[in-house]
Amino acid sequence: MVVRPPKRDRIEDTIDYNDIAVSASAIARDHIALIETFAGRLAAACLNNVRVTEAEVVVEKVGALVNGSASCRVRLRRACLPSGQAASSGQRIFKTEGEMR
């Protein structure tokens, strides 16, 4: 995760990683057919925090292939585009990259 540096050296001015774990657990409660969907939702949850400018989520599904002999991994990166490229409404605009192994 790439975050904007805090203006002060105070814990409340940075990311609470417990919030990310809570988001991941909440997302996982719903049935999700694709790990790509889970990765995208978790990246979006991270980017809901205005301090986060980029989130990379790696999800591995152990035993995804026949007889549990291999796994599947998805890596998804979402980034907030620089403010000069943002919409005039002030919305944050994102780009997404992904790979699957």
List the domains of the chain with CATH numbers. 2-100 (3.30.1130.10)
Measured torsion, CA atoms of residues 42, 62, 96, 16, in degrees rounded to the nearest 10 = 30
The pLDDT tens digits of the residues spanning 36-82 come to 888 889 988 888 888 888 888 888 777 666 666 666 667 777 777 66
**pTM passes above 0.85:** no
Q: Which sign does the torsion angle of CA 47, 39, 54, 90 carry? A: negative
Local confidence band at 93 (pLDDT 50, 70, 90 cut-offs): low
In which residue are the tokens 């790990």 written?
A: 35
